[in-house]
Amino acid sequence: MDARFKSRDIERRSLDVDGLKRSFLEWLVYSVGKDARAATRRDWFHTVALAVRDRVVDRWMDTTRSYYQEDAKRVYYLSLEFLIGRLLTNSLSNLGIVDECRQALDRLGLSMEDVVDAEPDAALGNGGLGRLAACFLDSMASQGLPGYGYGIRYEFGLFEQRFENGWQVEYPEQWLQFGNPWEFARPEVLYPVQFYGRVEEFRDSVGERAYRWVDADRVLAMAYDTPVVGYGGETINTLRLWSARATRDFNFGHFNDGAYMKAVEQKILSENLSRVLYPNDATETGKELRLKQEYFFTSASLQDILRRYLQHHTTFDNLPNKAAIQLNDTHPAIGIAELMRLLVDQHALRWDNAWEITRATFAYTNHTLLPEALEAWPVRMIERVLPRHMQIIYEINAKFLNRTKAKAAGDNARLSRLSLIDERGERRVRMGNLAFLGSHKVNGVSALHTDLMKQTVFADFHEEFPDRINNKTNGITPRRWLKQANPALSELITTRIGEGWISDLSQIAALREKADDVVFREEFRRAKRKNKKRLAAYIARQTGEEVLVDSIFDVQVKRMHEYKRQLLNVLHTIALYNEMRDNPTVSWVPVTKVFAGKAAPSYHMAKLIIKLINDVAKVVNHDPSVHDNLKVVLLPNYNVTAAEIIIPAADLSEQISTAGMEASGTGNMKLALNGALTIGTLDGANVEIREHVGPDNIFIFGMTADEVNDLRASGGFNPREVIASNPSLKRALDMISTGAFSPDDRNRYHPIVQALTDGGDHFLVTADFADYCRAQEAAMQLYRDPEEWTRKAILNTASMGWFSSDRTVNEYAEEVWDVHPVKPSHDGEGFR
């Protein structure tokens, strides 16, 4: 081989400071096309990302080759959302070259922070569900599990949120505008996906009835691959995202003049499929384009999975032994009908055989019980868009109901609840029922949520298939959420217990005994203070507000939703504000209320709550009588990058959803891991967090899920009575309703006041208010004792080992997927 290539090849993989620096300069000039004098920060980001990417490619190919050579069983995580965030620090950290990179940049006169900050935040998701998928990718790669992510390469991720006059305004988020250095386009990996058309019946070669889908529109799904770097760099997995391309009919067609422009229009329209992420979190809009997105990426992924399987196999009997397909909520549930179609129509399998294979291959995760979030597509729409799938769904349903009818004759109400078709009103396909029936395992995402699934949405299915529902409590990756986001605390932890916790978070329990060590407490406080200073500077930059570093940072960061009850927090904020004004001589514990979160653009109530928080902030922050005691900030554009700054700085973590409504929560875990104390209801994973940290180290308040259920069953309650009997609640609500925070439009908040009063207060904000204030008071009292507070904070961090997504993913691997780690063989020179 030509010696120059050889040396260049080694150069590409060198991980020391000199090698990195040389590689940066080479990339800057020859790929970015700039010299060091002309390069912008963004140029440097692209340069560094490309140089880092070089250092994963060989390992990536080794990993893929190992899976292939071992014909390992793979797990395919199908998700409409992957909320990745930035990748530069993540890649460097998982490769173990953060310091080397910093030094190399230093020698070039550059600051690592500036380069890192030039990376856009990849926001291909709305909130918890999409971030969970991203944490799972990190955990699968970090544990050597053969896991692939499959999703959509949206050109526009989640909108950018700005406040104009205190109102949320959405701007398009163009993360791909300057190119994406992490991805590899695969123009040759292309699958056709069909829509519309009709179904033709015919007789197959043995005279059996068979079907083909004809006269359909076609688009192509083109693959883009992003390497997923596991911790330590041993395993590099693949995230494959699909982008819509017009069929080649356009490229190779010849048109007369009229048809040419029509064909161009058609091309543009068909490529709109992967244009934009739907910005709704836990609510369905039922738009045809959304259904098409769901089918588009699911069909392409299944075709890809079958192609990979058929490289080693000639029949489909072994598919369930070689592929586990996990459905991240019902968004890809149409895949059950699609796999049946591929097996029966395209590969000529018998129905029963195909069904057995399908069910053994799929598993389904449910993430919500909220009725408005359970997908139910109109039969008329599926008939039109996916006519063959509608037939298949009918067939699945008929066979299932026939078998069930034989067992439980007469109970028509039960049969209609089990049906895949909701016959009340416009006929709809219940995607949750389809996902349940077509999967061998179905799981909830916290112990409480899984119990409630059994009692509510899937009660009848649970009776029918008692072994199918299982629990997999969510988790978070300790790499991004502690090591990377909180270097101050993670370095402190490592000095005391070593670095084993990074890949085995259960080891963090060794910190428990340090809670009684005064020196450690002091250092723990110092780390928190450093993070609070960093957040205070961020707040000042984003909002112009100066906050007190020595106040309680009381943090509620999550999507804006009535069930998450930001309103409860706002009401407490107002009540506290009033108390502070009434009692100016009392020495108050200073409080900084930090809010952040986006509202779905069409969710008017959530947007009104945003405006209310901004209005309250304006009044409170301009009132000199509470100047040193209370500040309220609503940070714009909450995303993964903002979370990495906010979470390490939090003292108090607000997890205050109406009990029974938050399936799990994962922000609750991130905050506790970073040493925040939780104030929360017994909802979702809060229940398990309490079990792990101990009831003395968490502030629990409010009604339980059972109490909420009983209250609703008995016809609800009268919020007016509750309000009348609580003067501070009454005063806070009166201020809102009389325009104390909206002098320019005194009626602005009537919809909110209405919902909390005559509207019946569906989310029980007023019902839980008094107990919430009691818990807040307890938190403030504790904060007066820094040693006790710190002790409990340390115990929180030390007790979060179980909430690592490594643990979650291992449970899936063993109990649902039956996949096992594969150790890639990396021949060639060593690598740390």
Site residues for ligand GPW per CB under 6 A: 126-129, 132, 281-282, 329, 367-368, 373, 445, 474, 662-666, 684
What's the closest the beta carbon of residue 444 comes to ligand GPW, in angstroms?
9
What's the closest the beta carbon of residue 294 comes to ligand GPW, in angstroms?
12
What's the closest the beta carbon of residue 803 comes to ligand GPW, in angstroms?
12
What's the closest the beta carbon of residue 330 comes to ligand GPW, in angstroms?
8
Angle, vertex CA 359, rays to CA 355 and CA 361, nearest 5:
120
Beta bridge partners of 323: 74
564 is catalytic: yes
Which residue, 367 or 388, has its beta carbon nearer to ligand GPW? 367
Return d(Cα 684, Cα 92) in angstroms, integer.
34
Which residue, 431 or 489, has its beta carbon nearer to ligand GPW? 431
Work out whether the CA dihedral 518, 522, 525, 527 comes out positive or negative.
negative
Q: Which of 426, 340, 418 is nearest to 386 (CA)?
A: 340
What's the closest the beta carbon of residue 815 comes to ligand GPW, in angstroms?
17
Which residue, 233 or 478, has its beta carbon nearer to ligand GPW? 478
Catalytic residue of the set 240, 449, 521, 559: 559
428 is catalytic: no
- Residue that the structure tokens 């008017």 belong to: 604
Cβ–Cβ < 8 Å for 686, 665: yes
Q: What is the DSSP string of 79-129?
A: -S-EEEE--HHHHHHHHT-HHHHHHHHHHTT--HHHHHHTSPPEEES-SHH
670 is catalytic: yes
Which residue, 663 or 729, has its beta carbon nearer to ligand GPW? 663
Return d(Cα 59, Cα 487) in angstroms, integer.
27
What's the closest the beta carbon of residue 175 comes to ligand GPW, in angstroms?
20
* DSSP run (H or E) holding 763: none
Which residue, 127 or 227, has its beta carbon nearer to ligand GPW? 127
HSE-CB of 449 using CA atoms within 13 angstroms: 26
367 is catalytic: yes
Q: What is the 3-state secondary structure (H, E, C) of 587-623?
A: CCCCEEEEEECCCCCCCHHHHHHHHHHHHHHHHHHCC
407 is catalytic: no
Helix crossing, 786-798 with 518-543: angle to 10°? 90
Angle, vertex CA 62, rays to CA 76 and CA 153, nearest 5:
40
558 is catalytic: yes
Phi, psi values for residue 544, rounded to 5°:
80, 0
What's the closest the beta carbon of residue 230 comes to ligand GPW, in angstroms?
22
Q: What is the 3-state secondary structure (H, E, C) of 23-46?
A: HHHHHHHHHHCCCCCCCCHHHHHH
Catalytic residue of the set 359, 480, 670, 692: 670
What's the closest the beta carbon of residue 280 comes to ligand GPW, in angstroms?
7
What's the closest the beta carbon of residue 688 comes to ligand GPW, in angstroms?
12
Which residue, 281 or 523, has its beta carbon nearer to ligand GPW? 281
Which residue, 366 or 674, has its beta carbon nearer to ligand GPW? 366
Which residue, 300 or 457, has its beta carbon nearer to ligand GPW? 457
Catalytic residue of the set 322, 367, 449, 565: 367
Return d(Cα 314, Cα 316) in angstroms, integer.
7
Beta bridge partners of 654: 679
Cβ–Cβ < 8 Å for 535, 649: yes
Which residue, 229 or 282, has its beta carbon nearer to ligand GPW? 282
Catalytic residue of the set 477, 666, 681, 766: 666
Inter-CA distances, 352 with 340, 395, 402, 440, Å: 10, 11, 14, 15
Catalytic residue of the set 102, 564, 631, 692: 564
Beta bridge partners of 593: 554, 632
Inter-CA distances, 155 with 123, 245, 286, 716, Å: 10, 13, 21, 45
Catalytic residue of the set 558, 565, 692, 791: 558
**Active centre residues (catalytic):** 367, 558-559, 564, 666, 670
